[in-house]
Chain A
């Protein structure tokens, strides 16, 4: 229990040194909280925002739109756009990346899915140009590196960070 001290005619557990330190701590904490809210608004803490929304493109064959910052168990979308070409749309994603996610949906539904070496290949019943959206729920914290492969050797890499 705190020690009672006498101040004039009153006895109470007052510690002015502690109160001064606590006041400084509150000021610093307030600044930190405001920065945290700003970070959230900008998308640095996940679920969209100007600093989180990103895209990568190789010019014409392949384009990927994704979020840089994610949160655990909170779904994100990775949009893969294939440029004009011939034949059915085939998109491959490296298996290591997919192991850190639960693939909860793919729009458009793939005709077939197969594992080829270190990649998972999705074949779609449509010809390019086309767009496919992968709905993913992160299951691992931290840094996640992805590579997406498109037609004619096109490939794009991107990184994501998953918060708790």
Chain B
């Protein structure tokens, strides 16, 4: 019983920490993000398994985490409210070439990051060529170019 409860508790705690830290954390992996993920996995391993190093103990912990993920996916699909709570929603950051500063400030995004995404995905050169730039649920930025 203990290992299931520990795994569930760690899942909720890690989810809350990352969810409350802001959407962009979960988007593109920088070197720092990768180091952070590696350290988090090491730090949580002992908390989940404690002194149980058995095969069944490890399998039970993994199963608990996988089923919790499955449950959250199902709840997100069935309930728009839960989906928004769990995953957030999309937010328009640039509209008709004009950056929406207040929203960009809240998500700590710069013009350069948006133009960089526009350049990489759409081959655009300037902000005024962007019709819409949207911060997606995943934390990535999608760009819709203006039609010529």
Q: Chain A: residues with CB nearer than 8 A to chain B?
A: 1-3, 7-10, 12-16, 18-19, 22-23, 25-26, 29-30, 33, 73
In the complex, besides A3-B80, A26-B20, 6 extra interface pairs with C-beta distance below 8 angstroms are: A10-B131, A15-B84, A16-B91, A25-B20, A26-B21, A29-B20
Contact check, B89 vs A7: say whether CB atoms are below 8 A apart.
no
Query: Which residue from chain B places its CB closest to the CB of A28 in the assembled complex?
Result: B20
Q: Within B75-97, which residues are at the interface with A (CB < 8 Å)?
A: 77, 80, 83-84, 88-92, 95-96
Contact check, A1 vs B134: say whether CB atoms are below 8 A apart.
no
Contact check, A19 vs B89: say whether CB atoms are below 8 A apart.
yes
- Name the A residues within 8 Å of B22 (CB-CB): 26
Q: Is the interface of A mostly helix, strand, loop or mixed?
A: mixed
- Name the B residues within 8 Å of A14 (CB-CB): 89-92
Q: Does B121 contact A (CB under 8 A)?
A: no
- Could you count the A-B residue pairs with CB atoms below 8 Å apart for me: how many are there? 54
Contact check, B84 vs A18: say whether CB atoms are below 8 A apart.
yes
Q: Within B39-53, which residues are at the interface with A (CB < 8 Å)?
A: 50-51
Q: Within B99-148, which residues are at the interface with A (CB < 8 Å)?
A: 103, 106, 131-132, 134, 137, 144
Query: Which residue from chain B places its CB closest to the CB of A25 in the assembled complex?
Result: B20
Whole-angstrom distance between the Cβ of A34 and the nearest chain B Cβ: 12
Query: Which residue from chain A places its CB closest to the CB of B83 in the assembled complex?
Result: A2
The number of chain B residues touching the other chain, given as a range, is 20 to 34
- Name the B residues within 8 Å of A73 (CB-CB): 50-51
- Name the B residues within 8 Å of A23 (CB-CB): 106
Contact check, B92 vs A10: say whether CB atoms are below 8 A apart.
yes
Whole-angstrom distance between the Cβ of A142 and the nearest chain B Cβ: 17
Contact check, A10 vs B144: say whether CB atoms are below 8 A apart.
yes
Whole-angstrom distance between the Cβ of B84 and the nearest chain A Cβ: 6
- Name the A residues within 8 Å of B16 (CB-CB): 29
Contact check, B92 vs A12: say whether CB atoms are below 8 A apart.
yes
Whole-angstrom distance between the Cβ of A76 and the nearest chain B Cβ: 17
**A12 to B134, alpha carbons, bound, how many Å?**
9
**Known contacts A12-B90, A18-B89, A2 near B84 by CB under 8 Å:** yes
Pick the contact of A19 from B17, B91, B96, B144 — CB < 8 Å?
B91
Contact check, B20 vs A1: say whether CB atoms are below 8 A apart.
no
Q: Offer 23 A-B interface pairs, CB within 8 angstroms, sorted by A.
A: A1-B80, A2-B83, A7-B92, A8-B96, A10-B132, A10-B144, A12-B90, A12-B92, A12-B134, A13-B80, A15-B84, A15-B89, A18-B84, A19-B91, A19-B103, A23-B106, A25-B20, A26-B20, A26-B22, A29-B20, A30-B20, A33-B20, A73-B51
